[in-house]
Structure 1
């Protein structure tokens, strides 16, 4: 199982780009086993939605 650190990196990256098949699978497997990361993914999604509603965008280069 991948680490929670790697899982959170992938969760963040999937908001900006399409994950590879192996990344998606690894993340999915981790999320099946880790309730803390499932909660983190849910919270990241909420933050992303709220920022999109406000029209916030990340600074250039990020």
Structure 2
């Protein structure tokens, strides 16, 4: 098991099929990684950036039209 500063990583409760991302956080940082490549690269966002992303996603800003 690979240990890192983020500790527990989680996937969405509705994820499935192997095409998932995992999310973890520590104070002031949220990290996202590919669930199929757990030792590979990850994206890191401030909690402010992550909150803005979630808000936009919830209102449909990234939906395909």
Structure of greater relative contact order (alpha carbons < 8 Å, 6+ residues apart): 1
The structure with the largest helix share of the pair is 1
TM-score, normalised by the number of residues in structure 2: 0.28
Instruction: Give the structure with the larger strand fraction.
Output: 2
Instruction: Give the structure-1-normalised TM-score.
Output: 0.28
